[in-house]
Structure 1
Amino acid sequence: MLRTGVTVDVVVIGAGAVGAAVAFFASREGLRVAVVDRGPIAGGTSSAGEGNILVSDKEPGPELDLALLAQRVWREDLAEHAALWEFEAKGGLVVGATPPAVAALAGLTRRQRAHGVEVTDVTAGELPAHEPYLALELAGGAHYPQDAQVQPMLVVAHLLRLSRSSGATVTTGAEVTGFLRHGDTVTGVRTTRGDIGAAMVVNAAGPWAGAVSELAGAPVPVLPRRGVVLVTQPLPPLVRHKVYAAEYVGDVASSDAALQTSPVVESTPAGTVLIGSSRERVGFDRTIPPEVPATLARKAVALFPRLASALALRTYFGFRPYCPDHLPVIGPDPRAPGLWHACGHEGAGIGLSVATGKLLAQGMTGRDTELDLTPFAPDRFATAPPVP
């Protein structure tokens, strides 16, 4: 049981990748940090993704800026810990099935290259040198050497372990039921295991961040968006990169609530192949229609015909924290002084977590942040239309 009235500098609501990154960087700055979660660590979205660290799927703009910062944090600030979470600098390969798809992809790569992304256009004849087992009829693609992958549950576990070594505490089974206030100012949280006073409270509750923000009287429109991943048996080396079809970029940016699927295929160090991706807004419905994994499998085989003989071991799914403008919510909330947000990253949360944590730690210690947080402002939705 938490002792009622415990006071720290920062309470982080959520023990997933984003909350763990906030705790790591804040505690490293000397702040006293308490992490609380109603479930186990990495019990939500962070246990239900592939662990991607991508620049390839982002148009130039604030999210790509955040992704490029994240690249530096993963590869420089956290380089000494890379083996702990199985950091793989595998690179990404985006492929187009038709000449129009490849032409559209080339337009994206031109824009990204001008924005600082490392990317090389790949002709149809060059594809086998990157991925020998790809389908032969593809029209071309693009290679992104900066794309990488981690094991997300290891990221959470080790960032929280390192945070504890800097004095942070982590309490699971502690659901936040309300906020402590002094006037309009947030001064802590009420949980099912006791109250915690704090100078700052960070909402890093993933797809439940919208509900947490409502409790604080400062709502942000973060909603769950369900995604399914199919896992094969361990296979001989088959897929070298993260490989996905060019239409995946459009699906990521879509606001459609209906089911969308686009093929994404990548291997793991254990030899299993992860197959995605699906997206649909169905609330927290945990019922997966059988046609979803069937569609994922069919589209993956169209990219890698040798997968047709592979056994599927299991599927898993999770709820990504969707924001209607496809930008995360990061920074202090002027509607409730003392409240900060770190949520709404949708399927990019693992990759962007460490940049988010570093930016919040800079802001919470009164320093200039490496990126302007204005595009991610929590109150930017105040006059926006309702979520479709």
Structure 2
Amino acid sequence: MPGTVLLLAASPVGKGCLVDAASVLPVLAAVPPAVLSGTNTANVVELADPLEPQAVLTRLRAAATAPGPLTVFVTGQLMLDRRQHLPHLALARTTSATVRYTGLPWHWIREELRLRTPGTTTLLLDLHADAETWAWLRSQPLDSGRNSAVYGRIAPPPSSRRAVAVPAYMKAIATILRSGRRPDLAELHQQALARLGSDGYGNLVVGVPPAAVPVGSAPRPPYPPERPRPHMPDRLNTPGRERVDDPHVAITTAVQDGRHDAADALAAEHEQAAVRAHGPASEQALHWAEVRADLAMFAGDPERSCRTWLAVASARLGAGQPVDAPAVEAAVDRAHHQWGQIGDPARARELGAELADLRARVPGRRVGALDHIRRQLSQLQTLGS
């Protein structure tokens, strides 16, 4: 099965730039796609200094839903938004004052990769942090999800404000791969670090095999079981292997096989079990509702996906979560996206009114989102008259 490779290099234009991220792309592009992916053949998507977070999200989502192994190379700069102090990948237009609207929230990457089968996803990171983000990283890890292998480094701010760093770790990765041989990921990572030499001193080094929990992070709640089971780790410690009773694996396999009804039925069973055990507004129940919303999208049913995301957003708000909580914003954003895919004008008008009410409370990070809904509703009213 062919693999997929996403090459993402992003950094701000102007004085806020800490790293010349795009300089690594010619070196990576010189590596054969099969070597980048570790498969016999691979499709490569390249994003150089993208402008819009939604455009990056679209490419990331397409890569995440492709069958076969996925390797994502991310080179760039991390910044925190001023309101929630959450990490973002800075894009070309990002400044310290506009991170919330012009940067790519790191949790978007985690969320897009969460349904992939453990052991099929690799993230290779060469990131630089500004002073505020560096201080934040000293007390908590960069969460890239539990199903992905993550290797790389995060470099501290340069000593001089005028200095623009070189993505030396990623260039080392590319140089090693240009030999035509792709070592084991852990070996590749160590070889790249060795090439950094003293330049790598002081970096935060990321080396997380699939199904491992980053040092210093709190483990995520286990999925709700259908029946009591003895205490055991959420995952096997052997890298690359999955627990056969993990429903996420079975669901992902069903989706990849085109068995969308079976995937949704399995997710619905776990959602009902979570509701019985923890309540309808619990994180366990909402997790499975979110899974079902994604499954509806994969099945080509944007109306059902939109309805489910709207219900998730309403439930989170009803439980007292703030309107700018990442999970609330993500639910409304995804409902908005799926609403735009609905072909039936009558159904779109019906859901659009509910979406507009939610958007008035949860404006999100994109300026003009509510105005967009209102314009679309006006056009839909014309179609229905």
- How does the TM-score come out when normalised to structure 2? 0.25
- The structure with the largest helix share of the pair is 2
Higher relative contact order (CA 8 A, sep 6+): 1
- How does the TM-score come out when normalised to structure 1? 0.25
- The structure with the largest strand share of the pair is 1
